[in-house]
Amino acid sequence: MRLFDGGRAPNPRRVRVFLAEKGIEVPLVPVDMAGLEHKGAPITSRNPLQRLPVLELDDGTILTESVAICRYFEELHPEPALFGRGALGKALVEMWQRRMEFNLFAAVAAAFRHLHPAMKEWEVPQVPAWGEANKVKAVEFLAILDDELSSREFAAGDEFSIADITGLIAIDFMKPARIQVPEEMGNVIRWHRGLSSRSSAAA
């Protein structure tokens, strides 16, 4: 088994944080995304979408998409449970994971890809107006999240989950996307500070 990893890129980092929380070690194959190695034959032959991370199992089976890879490891190593416990717990984690994915992570990514000069050759065409619109969408969602976090420690309840991992990565990604968490969103700031203090955040 080996994990083709993209370094500081958000999606590969999501998997590394997840594995760190689980205490699982998987051999990493570094891929230089800045050098466009993810568009070369070794990655393209495994994932025609040319995206990372890519997990290659011992029998040659390929898994892509960060959450799918995490779910695979959750089934193999159910503790600590990062996709929730019981019918309701799992549904709540799924709900908040999707909310984080679509309303925060994706919005930050769109802002970065459509506005950052370094992405000019990657996002063709760049649509600056769409990037600016997604900055607004990200902050609007943070306002909702701030209200939700007034009554609990983590995104989906009282236990850390993959929804928190996605949220952590998204907020960290806001810096290169040039989006700021408004100072008045104290619950989001407290939550992010707590997530950042976990040892897994350095993965």
Instruction: Read off the pLDDT of residues 107-152 as tens digits, 9 standing for 90 and up.
Output: 999 999 999 998 988 899 999 999 999 999 999 999 999 999 999 9
- Span 159-200, pLDDT tens digits: 999 999 999 999 999 999 999 999 999 999 999 999 999 999
Contact yes or no for 14/70 (Cβ under 8 A): yes
Residue 157 has pLDDT above 90, yes or no: yes
pLDDT score at 20: 98
Task: For residues 86-113, give the mean pLDDT.
Answer: 98
- List the structure tokens of 156: 């989906």
Q: Give domain limits for the chain.
A: 2-76, 86-202
How distant, in Å, are the alpha carbons of 13, 36, 41, 87, 141 from that of 83? 17, 32, 34, 11, 22
Q: What pTM, to 2 d.p., does this model score?
A: 0.97
- Write down the CATH superfamily of domain 2-76: Glutaredoxin (3.40.30.10)
**What sign does the CA torsion over 4, 78, 92, 17 have?**
negative
Helix (H, G, I), strand (E, B) or coil at 124: coil
- Span 46-56, pLDDT tens digits: 999 999 999 99
Average pLDDT, the chain: 97
pLDDT score at 121: 85
- CA atoms of 144 and 140, how far apart (whole Å): 7
Task: For residues 11-33, give the mean pLDDT.
Answer: 98
pLDDT score at 122: 87
pLDDT score at 105: 98
- Does CATH place domain 86-202 in 1.20.1050.10? yes
- Sort 175 into a burial class: Cβ within 10 Å, 0-12 / 13-18 / 19+: exposed
- CA atoms of 190 and 185, how far apart (whole Å): 9
**CA-based nearest residue to 163, from 73, 109, 101, 77:** 101
pLDDT score at 109: 97
Of 8-22, 50-64, 109-123, which gets the smallest average pLDDT? Answer: 109-123
